[in-house]
Amino acid sequence: MSNSFFQKDIVSVRDFDKQKFETVFQATDKIIGMNQNERREIVRGKTLGYLFFEPSTRTRLSFEAAMASIGGTSLGIADASSSSAKKGESLADTVKIMSLYSDVLVLRHQLDGSSRFAAEISEKPLINAGSGTEEHPTQAILDLYTIRKEKKKIDGLKVGIVGDLKYGRTVYSLLYALSNYNVDVKLISPPSLKIRADSTYEIRKKLQYTETSDLEENLDDLDVIYVTRIQKERFADIEEYVKVRGSYKIGPELVNKIKDDAIIMHPLPRLDEISPEIDSTKQAKYFKQAQYGKDTRAALLALILNENGI
């Protein structure tokens, strides 16, 4: 069977359908099942180049760990202030140079449209690791994989997405991804952080969702509770941030109201929206989610870099 991911860019989760997700999930399962020696032969001799113009801990380290786990190496820019961008070098030139040194590129940038632009310039396949407030496709892939692994299915579930739905790029990618499945979605946010109508036109065609600001009244029938932080860095007016900061907090009292087999997810980093007391509960899956992030990114890299897949 041909590998449709070979040498392809991963810019938007909108380019995925159910079958493409399933291809990545099966590749992830296969990698997890391999012994270490087998895994380290998958992309031996290949190099990942990363360009992070916005702060990142989990995503960058996850890609580096993923590449190392399948036998590759990584190099790149973890901090724009230490790169030639500080001297005024254009994104286009930086991407061109990095593509000379790498077999696959990973880009995070603060501007909307940056990954699409960079993919057109790069001579090597490029993965969007977050473009402005638009999308974060590999986060959506790992989110779906987490749901599939922990709930044994995606179709038929009730999913609640909580927090900053206006600026959270993980939210838009997750909604686009969920639109490939038969799910019931509740969007729970402060009124000022509701999902942007102009960004959900396409989603609305495929996915029905309801919006509310009341977290407690919607908790008891949810299978998946996906919590996001209020993103201070996205607010032009700090006073607006202060008004909504701490709007929702998942603590022991709320966890007692949710289903016994519900799962709590978070793309991380968290601030105070999930109490550390919840970490030891069986519903808390956000650290496992981060582990699955490494595994799904390893699978994606393997598919992009190997013509015959894994």
pLDDT, tens digit (0-9, with 9 covering 90-100), for 54-112: 888 889 999 999 999 999 999 999 976 655 555 567 999 999 999 999 999 999 998 88
Q: Phi and psi at residue 284, in whole multiples of 5°?
A: -75, 120
Question: Does 169 carry a binding-site annotation?
Answer: yes
Looking at residue 230, what is its pLDDT?
A: 76
pLDDT, tens digit (0-9, with 9 covering 90-100), for 178-204: 999 999 999 998 887 888 887 778 888
| Predicted confidence (pLDDT) at residue 232 exceeds the cutoff of 80 | no
Q: How far apart are the first and last CA of the chain?
A: 11
pLDDT, tens digit (0-9, with 9 covering 90-100), for 251-275: 999 999 999 999 999 999 888 899 9
| Predicted confidence (pLDDT) at residue 239 exceeds the cutoff of 80 | no
- 58 is a catalytic site residue: yes
Question: Does 136 carry a binding-site annotation?
Answer: yes
**C-alpha distance from residue 144 to each of 79, 157, 217 (Å):** 29, 12, 25
CA distance 150 to 188: 22
pLDDT, tens digit (0-9, with 9 covering 90-100), for 113-151: 899 999 999 999 999 998 877 788 999 999 999 999 999
- 87 is a catalytic site residue: yes
- 14 is a catalytic site residue: no
Assess contact for 236 and 256: CB atoms under 8 A.
Answer: no
Question: Does 87 carry a binding-site annotation?
Answer: yes
CA distance 69 to 275: 32
| Predicted confidence (pLDDT) at residue 237 exceeds the cutoff of 70 | no
Looking at residue 81, what is its pLDDT?
A: 61
Question: Does 124 carry a binding-site annotation?
Answer: no
Taking the whole predicted model, whether its pTM rises above 0.85 is answered as yes
Q: From the candidates 39, 108, 124, 149, which is the catalytic residue?
A: 108
Q: From the candidates 46, 136, 186, 297, which is the catalytic residue?
A: 136
Residue ranges per domain, the chain?
Answer: 13-135+291-305, 138-289
| Predicted confidence (pLDDT) at residue 48 exceeds the cutoff of 70 | yes
User: Mean pLDDT score of the chain, rounded to an integer?
Assistant: 90
Question: Does 269 carry a binding-site annotation?
Answer: yes
Q: Based on the number of CB atoms within 10 Å of its own CB, is 49 exposed (0-12), middle (13-18) or buried (19 or more)?
A: buried
- 116 is a catalytic site residue: no
Buried b / exposed e over 76-111, threshold 16 CB at 10 Å, is bbeebeebebeeeeebeebbeebbeebbbbbbbbee
Looking at residue 245, what is its pLDDT?
A: 67
CA distance 296 to 289: 10
Q: From the candidates 28, 59, 94, 170, which is the catalytic residue?
A: 59
CA distance 300 to 310: 10
Residue 238 banded pLDDT, cuts 50, 70, 90: low
Question: Does 270 carry a binding-site annotation?
Answer: no
Looking at residue 84, what is its pLDDT?
A: 56
Looking at residue 38, what is its pLDDT?
A: 95
Q: From the candidates 58, 116, 245, 270, which is the catalytic residue?
A: 58
DSSP string, the chain: ---TTTT--B--GGG--HHHHHHHHHHHHHHHHS-HHHHTTTTTT-EEEEEESS--SHHHHHHHHHHHHTT-EEEEES-GGGSGGGGT--HHHHHHHHHHH-SEEEEEESSTTHHHHHHHH-SS-EEEEEETTTB-HHHHHHHHHHHHHHHS-STT-EEEEES-TTT-HHHHHHHHHHTTS--EEEEE--GGGPPPGGG-HHHHHH--EEEES-SHHHHTT-SEEEE----GGG-SSHHHHHHHTT---B-HHHHTTS-TT-EEE--S--SSSB-GGGGGSTTB-HHHHHHHHHHHHHHHHHHHH-TT--
> Do 13-135+291-305 and 138-289 share a fold?
yes
Comparing 30-34, 238-242, 275-279, the range with the smallest average pLDDT is 238-242
Instruction: Name 34's Cβ contacts closer than 8 Å, sequence gap at least 6.
Output: none
* CATH node for 13-135+291-305: 3.40.50.1370
Domain formed by 138-289, architecture: 3-Layer(aba) Sandwich (3.40)
